[in-house]
Structure 1
C-alpha cells in the first residue's frame, strides 16, 4: 500500500466485517447492486472485494442469528509493528482478544485482535497477501476501494482519546452544534482526511461504511443505479465540507448505512490544523446544496441497531 504508516505503524483501513441474519439477501445486494465482487466463500462466510483494491476483501459477511459488527481491520507496516502494538496495548490494560499470530481468514497474514474502549473488536494485521486487482475504467460505477468507517459512540471524546493514545490516530476535523456539543470526530492514520470517524450516538453501533468511486461521474452513475434498484436512500448526493468528499448514503438490507464517495481530501501533515465546523451552517453538511437539509430523521437512520457484538469476540 502507498499509505505512509503512522507513529505506531498503522497504514490504512483494510476491511469491515458484518454479521447478518439475512445472509443471502446481503450477498446479492453487495454483488448485484453495490458493485463488489465475491472472491471467496467459506461455509457461512462471504468475502467481498472492491475491483480496484489490492485488499483481499473490503467487506466480510457472516451468516448469524443476530446482526452485529464482527470487526474493523487496519493494516500495519510489518510484523514487528504488529508485535509492538500488541505489547503496547496489553501493557496499557487494553483487553486482547487474540495474541499476535498467523491469521486464518482469506489472504492470511499476521495479526491480533483487541476490544476498543467501546467494546468493538479491532484487528491489526501485516503481510496479508495482495490480491490481483485492476484499474477501474472510466464510466464504471463500482467501488475502487474502501474509504472509511464511521462508528457511533455514547462518549466520542473518550473514544477519540483511545484511538489517539493507543493507535496513533490524529484528529483531522470536528463537527459541532452549539446546543449539543461535538457530534463527530474525523480521525486519520495516514494522509487521507479520515479512515475512521466517531459519531455521537445513543449506543455503540456502526454509523456507516464508505466506498471510494473512480470519479464524480462514476459516483453519480453508481448513486443512480442504486436508487433505480429501489434501495432506500438516506441522504445525498452532496459534498461535505469536512474532508471535501462527495456523499450518497443508502441502507443495506440489514439496515446498515453504506456510502458512495469520491475525492476525499488528502492532507499535508506538516501544515494541517483541525477545524471545528458548525453543522447549523448549511455549507458544512453539503457544499453543493443538492442534498436534503440534515434533519433528526436523517441522523437517526445512521444510529443503527444496538450492536450485539460489544465485548463479544466474533467466532471467526
Structure 2
C-alpha cells in the first residue's frame, strides 16, 4: 500500500508575458512536442511519457507559476484527499469534478502553505507515447520540481502532514542550517524539493533524459544553441542524479537530468549532507563550484501567483 495519496508529478504550468518566445524555447530547444492548445495556451508533452502534457504555457501580463499537478490512484483517493484537506484547514480552490483539460480526468485544486496552486487528479487518459531510442537527447518525462521558500522547514512539514510526502535527504550548511529538503511520494528519490530562498518562487523544473549519454548530448546541444547555462554538467550526492541547469527566456531555471535514485522503503534512512563538502553538490567534481552566483540564478523573481488561482 502506498504511503502517500500522491502517485507522481503530472505537469507544471507557467504563465509568461512573451508567450511566443517561451513556446519556441520548449519546441525548438528543449525537445518537447506540442499536443494542443489555443491562441494563448499551449500544452507540451514528452515523447516518452504517457502523460497528456508535462508543461503548460499560458500568455499573461506577468510571469508566474500557475500550478503544479500531482497524480492520484483513483477517484476515491481524490475525494478522500479533498475531504481530508478541507477538515485540516487547507483552502480548496475547487471541489472534485471532471477536468476540462486534455485527457480529462477527475480532480480538485487547493493552495499549499505559501499559496501555490496544486491540482490532484486521477483517471486522466494516457497519451500515446514511444520508447526513446539510444542517442535521442530529448526528455523522456518530467522528473521533479523544486520550490524556493523563505520558511522551508514549515513548507516541508506541510507537505509531509497534508500529502504524506516523506523526507529522503537534506542538504545543510554548518552556519546557515538546512538548505534543501528532498521529498518523495513514491520510490523516486524526490518528486518535490524545498529550497531555502529569499521569497516564494519556482526554483527549477527538472526533465529526465534516457541515460547518461543522452543527457550529455542534450546538455551540449543546448550549450551550442546559446541557451544560458547556469551550472553543470555534474552529479548531485542527494538523489545521485546528474544535473545541467539552464535559464528559459523568462529566467526560470530548467534542468536536464537522468539516473535519479530509487528508494527501498524498508531500508532507507534520510541522510544529512554538508554542502561545504564539494562532493555534496557535485560528486564528479567537473561542474563549476557551487557559489553565491549560482544560487542567485535560481532564486527567480517573487511569484506573482501566490493565493491567486490561475484563470484556467
TM-score bucket of the superposed structures, by smaller chain: over 0.9
Q: Where does residue 12 of structure 1 map in the other structure?
A: 8
Q: 1:7 Cα deviation (Å)? A: 2.8
Q: Provide, for residues 110-164 of structure 1, a one-character-per-residue CA deviation record: whole Å limited to 9, x for no partner.
A: 0000000010000000000100000000000000000000000111110011100
Aligned equivalents of 1:74, 1:99: Cα separation in 2: 15
Alignment of structure 1 residues 218-237 onto 2, 5 Å: 218-237=214-233
Q: Provide, for residues 274-312 of structure 1, a one-character-per-residue CA deviation record: whole Å limited to 9, x for no partner.
A: 000000000000011110000000000000000000000
Q: Secondary structure at the match of 1:159?
A: helix
Judge conservation of contact 2:252–2:298 (CA < 8 Å) in 1.
Answer: yes
Alignment of structure 1 residues 137-286 onto 2, 5 Å: 137-286=133-282
Judge conservation of contact 1:244–1:263 (CA < 8 Å) in 2.
Answer: yes
Q: Where does residue 86 of structure 1 map in the other structure?
A: 82
Q: 1:9 Cα deviation (Å)? A: 2.2
Aligned equivalents of 1:8, 1:218: Cα separation in 2: 32
User: Where in structure 1 do 4 or more consecutive aligned residues deviate above 6 Å?
Assistant: none
Give structure 2 stretches of 5+ with no counterpart. Answer: none
Q: Provide, for residues 73-114 of structure 1, a one-character-per-residue CA deviation record: whole Å limited to 9, x for no partner.
A: 000000000000000001111000000001111111000000
Aligned equivalents of 1:9, 1:297: Cα separation in 2: 38
Judge conservation of contact 1:6–1:168 (CA < 8 Å) in 2.
Answer: no
Q: Secondary structure at the match of 2:86?
A: helix
Superposition CA RMSD, Å:
0.7
Judge conservation of contact 1:6–1:169 (CA < 8 Å) in 2.
Answer: no
Q: Where does residue 312 of structure 1 map in the other structure?
A: 308
TM-score by structure 1 length? 0.98
Q: 1:26 Cα deviation (Å)? A: 0.5
Which residue, 78, 95, 98 being the options, matches 1:99? Answer: 95
Give structure 1 stretches of 5+ with no counterpart. Answer: none
Aligned equivalents of 2:279, 2:105: Cα separation in 1: 43
Q: 1:41 Cα deviation (Å)? A: 1.3
Q: Secondary structure at the match of 2:220?
A: helix
Aligned pair count reads 312
